[in-house]
Structures are given as structure tokens and as C-alpha cells.
Amino acid sequence: MTALGAPRRLSSRTATGAMYDHGAHVTSWIPAGQADVLWMSPLCDYDSAVALRGGIPVVFPWFGAGRSRDLRPSHGFGRLVSWDLNGIDERPDQVTVTHTLRDVESPDLPATFVATHVATFGAELDVRLIVENTGETSFSYEEALHTYLTVGDARRVSVLGLEGETYLDSVQGGQRTVQAGPVVIDGEVDRIYLSDRDVTVVDPVLGRTIRVRKTNSRNTVVWNPWIERAAALADMPDDGWQSMLCIEGANILDNAVILDPGESHTMGYQLSIESV
């Protein structure tokens, strides 16, 4: 048994799923008749204070090292702390799990807040991150649902919906580039798209299309570490990059959310599947 123990298992007529209270981390979503849509690393570390490699890590309240580029831990504390379970609503066709996180003490987010994570496991996977300013001063934060998708072979998928959109290419020091045609994985890809559009991942090897719909998400991050970066990650097999692709709904950098007292913001991220 690992330090985190077993995840909560959710099941209805349409899908099964799993998630941890730790990080409000969704680790599995299997629509009926499909293979798991979410990728979890077989070398994932469930014992220590590092983030789980796979599923849907909740990146909050900053992305990477944050806008000041010096914040730790990387990608914020949201994925490293236990969230409170608020309730599980079981229906015949879907199960909804709600978690909250309040007022984590951090010198880098001197704010009074309630973050609510709502995950609905059904024919769609619907994840919402709601942040409310319950204090008396304004604050801002970055967020991402850092979703690891399972793909048959990353080199053979096409990501549609980002054509003509501008991205910041983290592999090229943040260079602004315009996307020409579908996104393909032919090397390390680490890009922050300035785009609120929905995207589609066409996977000819698994014979399915994954639709990613977003609400109130002005960035989409696309990440695949490719050969060298995967080899450098202790919690990813050397060939792990071939079977995963991160498509993240996010609000980061200039799209960080600003909340005045009493305000709240909801970012939504939905996955659905079509067999082809």
C-alpha cells in the first residue's frame, strides 16, 4: 500500500473513474466500451510529496514558476495538498465528486479563497475549477487542468482546432509562433496557445477521436516531452512519451484571473470520445 492508498472508484452505467482527495486528482476515466482516456505513468510516485505523473493534475495558483518565474513548488501547491471531500452524487448515468480547498497559507498567494473542484464522470468527463475570493482584497492566480491523454502513438495523432492560433514556444525560449495546420508531435512540444477554442485529438492507432471542450479557458497548453526529456523524468518510462499527450485547459501569464472581493471564476474542461 502506498502513502496515498487507493483512489476513490466511481462507477455508473456510462463510465468508471477514479480520483484522489490528494490534489483533487482525477486518475482514470473509462467511458463504457473504451480504454482509459487518461494516461497514468506506470512509474508514478504515490509515496512522496511530488505530483502524480498522469491523470489531471490541478495546477493552481501559479503555472510553472509563475509570472515572476521564481515561485516554488512548480505548478503551485494545489496538486500537492489534500482537498476536502464535499460530497459524491451518484446517479444512474454519472457520478459527481466535489472537493474544496481553502486558504492554504502561502507567502506567494496572500489571499482568502475557496477553490472548488467538481468532477463528473459520465459519458463525458466534466471537470470544473471554481475559485472564489472570500477575503477583502483582490488577488490574481493562474490555473491549468494539466490533462494527460492516452494516445496510441503520439507521433501519429493530429490535434485540430489550433490552426492559425499564436503560441508561446517554451522549447524556443517562449518565442511567439503562429500554428500552421494541425499540431503534430515530431519532437519535444511544450506550447502555450493563446486560444480559447475547443480542440480535437484524432488518434488513428486507437481508432478514436477525443474532443476537448473548454469554458472560460483562454489558453491551451500542449505538451509532449519526447525522447530526451522523458528519459530525464524519474517517474516516466523512457518510452512513456509515445503513449501520452497533454492537452491542458488553462489561464496563465497575461490571462491570469483577477478576483475582487466576493467574485468567483469557473474554468471548465470536458472530454468526450468518438470511435472512428
| Euclidean distance between CA atoms 243 and 39, whole angstroms | 8
* Stretch 96-125: interaction string toward ligand TA6, x if CB under 6 A: ------------------------------
All residues at 6 or more sequence positions from 195 whose CB lies less than 8 Å from its CB, including other chains: 161, 162, 165, 166, 167, 218, 219, 220
| Euclidean distance between CA atoms 163 and 157, whole angstroms | 15
Window 167 to 196, contacts with ligand TA6 (CB under 6 A): 170, 190
Residue 78 burial (10 A CB sphere; 0-12, 13-18, 19+) = buried
User: Is position 75 annotated as part of the catalytic site?
Assistant: no
Is 252 a binder of ligand TA6 (CB under 6 A)?
A: no
**How far from the centroid of its chain's Cα atoms is residue 14's Cα?**
22
Nearer to ligand TA6, 115 or 221 (CB): 221
* Stretch 50-89: interaction string toward ligand TA6, x if CB under 6 A: -x------------x---------xx--------------
Q: Which of 148, 193, 223, 226 binds ligand TA6 (CB under 6 A)?
A: 223
User: Is position 146 annotated as part of the catalytic site?
Assistant: yes
State the minimum distance, in angstroms, from the CB of residue 236 to ligand TA6.
9
Of 248, 263, 265, 274, which one is the catalytic site residue? 248
**Size of interface with ligand TA6, in residues (CB under 6 A):** 11
In order, the DSSP letters of 98-115 are EEEEE----TT----EEE
User: Residue 21: which of 90, 114, 100 has the closest Cα?
Assistant: 100
Of 117, 132, 146, 165, which one is the catalytic site residue? 146
CB atoms within 10 A of CB 138: 12
Element (H, E) at 6: none
Is 240 a binder of ligand TA6 (CB under 6 A)?
A: no
Q: Which of 22, 99, 117, 146 binds ligand TA6 (CB under 6 A)?
A: 146
Q: Which active-site residues does the annotation give?
A: 146, 248
Q: Where do contacts with ligand TA6 occur on this chain (CB under 6 A)?
A: 51, 64, 74-75, 146, 170, 190, 221, 223, 246, 248
